[in-house]
Chain A
Amino acid sequence: MGELLRSEEMTLAQLFLQSEAAYCCVSELGEIGMVQFRDLNPDVNVFQRKFVNEVRRCEEMDRKLRFVEKEIKKANIDIVDTGENPEVPFPRDMIDLEATFEKLENELKEINTNQEALKKNFLELTELKHILRRTQQFFDEMEDPSLLEESSILLEPSEVNRAPLRLGFVAGVIGRERIPTFERMLWRVCRGNVFLRQAEIEDPLEDPTTSDQVHKSVFIIFFQGDQLKNRVKKICEGFRATLYPCPETPQERKEMLAGVNARIDDLQMVLNQTEDHRQRVLQAAAKTVRVWFIKVRKMKAIYHTLNLCNIDVTQKCLIAEVWCPVCDLDSIQFALRRGTEKSGSTVPSILNRMQTKQTPPTYNKTNKFTSGFQNIVDAYGIGSYREINPAPYTIITFPFLFAVMFGDLGHGILMTCAALYLVLRETRLIAQKNDNEMFSMVFAGRYIILLMGIFSIYTGIIYNDCFSKSINVFGSGWSVRPMFDPKVGGNWTFDMLNGSRILQLDPAVDGVFKGPYPIGIDPIWNIASNKLTFLNSFKMKMSVILGVIHMLFGVTLSLFNHLYFQKPINIYLGFIPEIVFMACLFGYLVIIIFYKWVSYNARTSREAPSLLIAFINMFLFQYRDPTVKRLYTGQPVLQSFLVIIALACVPCMLIVKTLVLRRQHMWRKHLGTQNFGGVRVGNGPTEDEAEIIQHDQLAQQSEDEPEFNFADEAVHQAIHTIEYCLGCISNTASYLRLWALSLAHAQLSEVLWSMVMRIGLARRSLGGFFLLSITFFFFSILTVAILLIMEGLSAFLHALRLHWVEFQNKFYSGQGFKFLPFTFESILEGRSEE
């Protein structure tokens, strides 16, 4: 856990990679994932870099693989994921890979085009088959003698001299949804002079290009004359109907149908074989496509990284600058050696540490338990380099503050069980690779949820709340019997019981209150009518106590920051006034809360003064009012003293610090410095004090220290002071949300019990069990949905706020940037980079 207190110590280092070994070295560094490469040629655009050709080739391979993957997914074949981590292929193997992918892609494309052509052919034949069948029906109907007769009668008188009536026809297939408009159009354009017959094809046909199932209809149009024929054909074209030649005589039609059927059978066989072949190819590809993906993406990542390096003048080696944690330097060296060996190079790669004034990135080493908490902190802001990291304290305080708001034994147990399931089945659930966003979010926070659940059980025991019911284990400390006993001062009678609805127990009567419950709140309060009055007072005080302790702890942590960064002024004129200010006002409040709890008993509690009034009077210096009782003798003197000390702290922070800073700056300026060829040396009064202030040669992009600006500094300090002093008050008030949310949670669970569970329980008949099991079902669903998830989320949010705002602004600046090592991990998990 030691490494969690502060971020890792980082160093800037130069890597000299022999050009032939560079690829292997970078691949080894990617496997260990501990170095962050800096871009050494930021002005060079992407297309002018050295390895742009290789990156392009990798991208091309990636594209081909994506195409194959798409085809595999389309064919509903599972991609085999063995979870293995293939080694990075050598650059010389790239050609082999390229050839393999090229071949695979071409083969697939060829199969696809062939299949498409075959399918199109097949579709045409099927349509033709349907046309032939249907038209046969139409013609059969036409030859119906009764119809013929009728027409001959009609035609007879005028048709004597003319040639026999010759009706032309076209037959085709059209999408079923187009039929009504098609019909109307034909009617209008040909003025009703054509005759359309249509029939639906029952089974859907497959569209060869989109492979969708489409419903189609067969139609046949009869008309007379060439002009009409042209019109009809144009309309058919416009409606994308496919026309097929249809022989006129039944004999020909029959022959054609037989021919078509034979061809369909042949085609079907060829189609099946093609499909089989395609499946075989895809299945073979599905076995290795993941490994190929990883290999290609790793190569691409390596070339991207090599593009960040500088090329030496002699072209013999690549120079890279990397950030790396100091404690991992050994393993980095080792990885470099491995890389050199693998490439067969004889010249070792060199790692050279550099001095720099640049701020290194922040790197917190985490494991699966701490990473969740570190994420909570990082979501607010990445810590500045080597700053105190709030994460280790968050591990305890976060679940605790959550549980204060979520205090219920039953809900806590449910939450713990759910989290335990996630934790115990961890490996199996990771292997399942659930893509659900909600689930993966909850899964990432499983240890947080587990701790939240356990702490909720604890606070539930303290509040003595289990699904809004109390559990009486040790026996309540309150007793009603002595109230009826006049000997000890009891004044109740049985007549009184009949007359009044609510009676109040008097703890001053002997034997009524036998002492506090051993752990938590006495269960008797659960059925008392003044339960809320009691609990509110208790929970409010508790929130203030927890809040003040939490904030004082935050201010104390700032001391360690100042000590570490060696800023004595910040300790004497920052930390000390801050903590004195807070301790004098709110620390004192906490102390008198405890004092009041301890020093008054059941008999004297009537005389106890109100803390709120006492605290307000403390600021107003008002002690004359005789009706306000004192907590202890000497209260006015001590309180006035504390207020004055607290107020005296404000100018310390506000003005004195600025003035001291200014003096220091002036002193440094008067010393004067000299610049000896890039090395700046201060010439102090004596030779010993001469110090090297600035060393230009090593730090390439050294930034000058910001100039001291008195006005800026004064404004900044004023803002900080005002923020802190007002913040003390508002933040303390903000911690009252602990009380408010725990009250809301308790009330909500009570409402749920009385509105849902009681319906099932309070039945006089024996049949009530049926209703009870139904109401329990709803009770459980509502408990999970409203109390666990909704209320849990709201308590989580408030706990988050208390940490980010009230706790962390006391010491955490969060202005660092994250250490992003070059690693293959994300490639392994199947996420593509960028």
Chain B
Amino acid sequence: MKSAVIRANERKLLLMAALVLLCTVGYLLLEVNLANPRLLAYAMKLRVPKVVVMLITAFTIGGASIVFQSVINNTIVTPCLLGMNSLYTLIHTAVVFFLGSGSLIAVNANLAFGVDIVLMGLVATVTYSWIFQKTKHNVLYVLLVGTVLTSFFGSLQSTITRVMDPNEYDALLTTLVASFSNINSEIVLFAVVLLAGVTFAIRKELALLDVLTLGKAQAINLGVDYDRCIRRLLLGVTLYIAVATAMVGPISFLGLIVANLSRQLLKTYRHSQLILGSALFGMIVLVGGQLLVEHVVSYTVPISVFITVGGGLYFLYLLLTRKKV
């Protein structure tokens, strides 16, 4: 038995999927000489990996943001609070500062990705699993720890950049902006395997998301092992964000936008639909945005500028129009 809301939402999701397809095809084929197979092959070689990375990133950030908001039980939190963005920035700044921009870790993308993943995974596990247990499963403490860590990493990073050689800083700056270019296929494959592993590990908890949003007392009433469930989901979300950030750079602010767009459009509590909607919105924003970056403003503005400016305005709008606080 399907209610009218579910069916209406399925239509909306289909429409969004069609839009994603349109953006993707548009991105792949715009300004390509279709008559010349060699030029076409060359363009595809450049564009297909980028599109794949964008789609994966959008899915990861979009899905993780919805789960994160539901776990915290607040729809205006952003997964930036988990501190992964600033940790990424710190790691990369520290590597360039201590080892030099020509060092192996800075130059070899696979190695850099590996270092990012290990460090972020470590911080994620300690903060969002261990501390969570230590604080008797108080989500707010964990958020506070995340916020403090974010400023801590940020301060360390800015201290380093102050004493850094300007030329090195210049080289560093390009890696600190989210980018979809130059990501090799090994990293993408590794990221997909990691994401699949995390998803598999928390598959049972994901099915409980709808019940969790009823609040702690109701969830326990309905037989959910609340603390364990929240802990595993929080850890899973952080690892998700960590993988996406290690892959493309600081991007988790995107999550706030797409998760709320999804909630606004679908008006449901069903997480299967919310997550899908959020992921599709992410794909539209990223692929559509990159299309604009490459063909309208011809690379003068990076996509993260659009995301931050647009996201910031949308965030203000959300704060001002929220009825209840």
A and B from one complex? no
